[in-house]
Amino acid sequence: MWRLLRQIGRTGIRTEPAPAPDDALRHETQALGRDIIKTLGRALAIRVVDAGSCNGCELEIHATANPYYNLEGLGFQFVASPRHADLLLVTGPVSRHMEVALRRTYDAMPQPRLVVALGDCGCTGGIFGEGPATCGRVSNVIPVDVAVPGCPPDPRAILQGILTAVQGR
Amino acid sequence: MTPHPLLAPDLVALPCELPAWNGRTDAAAWRAAATRAATQGARLVALWGAPQEVHAAYALPEGLVWLTLPCPPSAPDYPDLSDLFPAAGRMQRAVADLWGITARGAADTRPWLDHGLWPESRGARDYPFVHVSGDGVHEIPVGPVHAGIIEPGHFRFSVVGEKVLRLEARLGYTHKGISRRFTELAPAEAHRLAGRVSGDSTVAIAWAYCMALESATGTAVPQRAQWLRALLLERERVANHLGDLGALGNDAGFAVGLAQFSRLREDWLRLSKDCFGHRLLMDCVVPGGVAADLPAAAADALRRQCDAVAGEVAELRALYDGHAGLQDRFIGAGRVEPPLASRLGLTGLAGRASGIAADLRCDQPWAPYAPLNVLMATQRNGDVAARVAVRFDEVFESLRLIRALLDGLPAGPVATPLNALAGNALGLGRAEGWRGEVLVALALDEQGQRLRFCHCHDPSWHNWPVLEHAVMGNIVPDFPLINKSFNLSYSGHDL
């Protein structure tokens, strides 16, 4: 046990300090703080749906929860059910086989609800495009509030996208 | 010259980085070759379809034998191989879904990738799952949308109380028509698509694709590019293992493990971004070489990181090994005994954890692996603990390889222009990705302008069916842990 505690102590807190005041992200962090307190009581629940991605976006969504970005420290939480979610994070070109599942997930969310489409595929269909097996961009299937480009977008861009969606609310 | 493997008559050697032969067969020779391969202990690496053709690739000690069986519209079927190689079953069902060519005599002919939603579907929307009945048996359907942040797929558990009697997976949810998409892109551009077949294996699949295109055009890649490609592949392996080791700790209730390993992974990805321009290393491998050279200063940073990560991972391994609660969850969970692994064709990392000693970097070391003498990591217990141990061992070995690659990096250019595309040329590429062996087989059209077909094969095809065996007799709450210990690709499988 001492060895575990030593490792934790030695690692320390790695969460990065808030960006400098002139940084665009900090502005949004502050706005988010106000918004969260006002409307959500300091908790935003996110439901993630992979609608057909290559898994690259999922890897970077996972990274937003690592100690550096510390998504939960900002008041966000990934939840297991769309019924608990305020925001739907969708990745991938929407495959034909995920079209119904995505619609049903969206329909199961309480209102008001937000949708963030993630990655080049979610924004435009990406390199996979549209075809007999894919519906292409997420907005072809459900309404989208914010679309974050990148292949995949890095964790900061993902955070920024979520913050932007919440701010516009 | 490597001796010719006697699997089928009239095999022609392909100009590939790794020894490989191709040959056309008829239905009788197709079945005879498979029988011979099974008796000789060869592995079926992949089975895939193309317009009016079905293909199979077998790995033998001498190299890879790629067989092509023409299946004209007048006779769109071929002899079943799933009795010889169980892994062939789902691949044959996928061939039927995508190309309308069926396996004659196959026991399971249900649609696989086709969910009955495409314009030309043959499948029904209601999938006929195998039902288990008896006192107290009930079903738990899970997915395609999962509780966590993972790819979509459906799992049907038949359970008594907490105990899993049977698991049946239904995949294909992320099918994006990748095989068709390859034929629409310029061959020299399609490496970007190959790098997005499975996001966690972008280097492995893009390298195999580029190797295939280079073999089809007879392009010789500069030595420095080969070494840099291996450097990228080993960095991809370490990045994935770090992520998995943290997630496995977390799935067993050891959240500190996730925090620690995800911190190391983030450091790792950030340096990848600084040195190679992309956190996940997408689009770094390009036809003819690599996208950018590595500056000397970057090489030093990479070396320093290897030293730092080696120390940290050693410390974390001691924590994992010494934590009784964690080991209690790991040991014995999701066990695949070596004989079962061998019979079902378990491959790659999961195979090595069940005593299947196969690693392309050791068995057929292609450039630049030969002088590096890669040490294969193997275990025999076949449980979650064994798959964790293989990952730890492979992290250390990859760190050693990264240092060796940096120390021995030859001078010279990092890319060469691709030779002209010749009509009807065949290309083949293989690489040992972090999950297992990746294969890319392609053919150019008559004019040499487009790809007639391109098949990217992920080892998940072999390992998904074995996961169903691994989980039998375990309790439902252990499924996420067992599933993570395999960490199979949905996208790379669904195509």
Instruction: Find the range with the poorest average confidence among A3-7, A106-110, B188-192, B455-459.
Output: A3-7
Please, which pLDDT band fits residue A94 given cuts at 50, 70 and 90? very high
Report how far residue B47's alpha carbon sits from residue B66's, in angstroms, rounded to the nearest whole number. 9
Q: Is the pLDDT assigned to residue A35 strictly greater than 70?
A: no
User: In the predicted model, what is the mean pLDDT of residues A95-109?
Assistant: 95
Report how far residue B51's alpha carbon sits from residue B95's, in angstroms, rounded to the nearest whole number. 10
User: Mutating which of A8, A16, A71, A97 best tests the B interface, going by the most B Cβ atoms within 10 A?
Assistant: A97
3-class DSSP state of A8:
helix
Pairing status of strand A87-91 against strand A44-50: parallel
- CA A141, distance to chain mean position in Å, is 18
Q: How many A-B residue pairs are in contact by the CB < 8 A criterion?
A: 152
What's the N-to-C CA distance of chain A in angstroms?
A: 46
Please, which pLDDT band fits residue A38 given cuts at 50, 70 and 90? low
ipTM beyond cut 0.85: yes
Task: Give the E-state strand segments of B151-259 in sequence order.
Answer: 154-160, 163-170
| B495: nearest CA partner in chain A | A54
B152 at A interface, C-beta within 8 A: yes
Q: Is the peptide bond before B76 cis (omega within 30 degrees of 0)?
A: no
Give contacts of A 55-114 with B, CB under 8 A. 55-63, 65-68, 78, 80-82, 92-93, 95-99, 101, 105
Return the CATH architecture of domain A24-167. Answer: 3-Layer(aba) Sandwich (3.40)
B148 at A interface, C-beta within 8 A: yes
* Cα B475 to Cα A73, B334, B350, distances in angstroms: 33, 10, 20
Domain with CATH 1.10.645.10 in chain B: 181-494
DSSP structural state of residue A18:
P
Is the CB of B149 less than 8 angstroms away from the CB of A62?
yes
Mean residue pLDDT across chain A: 84
Q: Which of A14, A59, A80 sits opposite B147 (nearest CB)?
A: A80
Residue in the block written with tokens 């911190």? B263
Q: Is the pLDDT assigned to residue A23 strictly greater than 50?
A: no
Is the CB of A59 less than 8 angstroms away from the CB of B200?
yes
| DSSP state letters, A128-152 | G-SSSSB--SGGGTS--SEEE-SSS
pLDDT given at position B227: 96
From the first residue on, what is the mean pLDDT of each consecutive set of 10 residues in chain B (495 residues)?
Answer: 71 89 93 93 94 94 93 92 95 94 93 91 83 92 89 95 94 94 94 96 97 94 96 97 97 94 96 96 96 92 96 96 95 96 95 96 92 95 97 97 96 93 92 96 92 96 96 94 96 94
Is the CB of A66 less than 8 angstroms away from the CB of B152?
no
Q: Which of B174, B196, B279 sits opposite A154 (nearest CB)?
A: B279
Is the CB of A127 less than 8 angstroms away from the CB of B193?
yes
User: In the predicted model, what is the mean pLDDT of residues A41-56?
Assistant: 88
* Cα B156 to Cα B65, B132, B136, B138, B487, distances in angstroms: 36, 11, 16, 10, 18
| A-chain residues near B266 (CB < 8 A) | 63, 66-68
| B-chain residues near A68 (CB < 8 A) | 263, 266
What's the one-letter identity of residue B399?
L
pLDDT given at position B151: 93
| B-chain residues near A49 (CB < 8 A) | 145, 152
pLDDT given at position A39: 57
State whether the Cα torsion A143-A149-A155-A156 is positive or negative.
negative
User: In the predicted model, what is the mean pLDDT of residues A72-89?
Assistant: 90
Return the CATH architecture of domain B181-494. Answer: Orthogonal Bundle (1.10)
B145 at A interface, C-beta within 8 A: yes
| A99: nearest CA partner in chain B | B173
Domain with CATH 3.30.460.80 in chain B: 12-104
Please, which pLDDT band fits residue A34 given cuts at 50, 70 and 90? low
- CA A136, distance to chain mean position in Å, is 19
* Cα B141 to Cα B145, B146, B160, B252, distances in angstroms: 11, 11, 14, 22
Ranges of each domain in chain A: 24-167
Pairing status of strand B289-290 against strand B285-286: antiparallel
| Burial call B380-407: b when 16+ CB within 10 Å, e when fewer | ebbbbbbbbbbbbbbbbbbbbbbbbbbe
A72 to chain B, closest Cα gap in Å? 13
CATH of B12-104, one of 3.90.550.10, 3.40.50.720, 3.30.460.80, 3.20.20.80: 3.30.460.80
The pair of structure tokens assigned to B377 is: 């990591």
Please, which pLDDT band fits residue A27 given cuts at 50, 70 and 90? very low
pLDDT given at position A24: 41
| A84: nearest CA partner in chain B | B147
| B-chain residues near A97 (CB < 8 A) | 115, 117, 144, 172-175
Give contacts of B 427-466 with A, CB under 8 A. none
Q: Which of B148, B180, B197 sits opposite A54 (nearest CB)?
A: B197
| A-chain residues near B178 (CB < 8 A) | 128
Gyration radius (Cα) of chain A, Å: 17
Residue in the block written with tokens 């056309």? B24
Is the CB of B152 less than 8 angstroms away from the CB of A51?
yes
| DSSP state letters, B430-473 | EEE-SSSEEEEEEEE-TTSSSEEEEEEE-THHHHHHHHHHHTTT
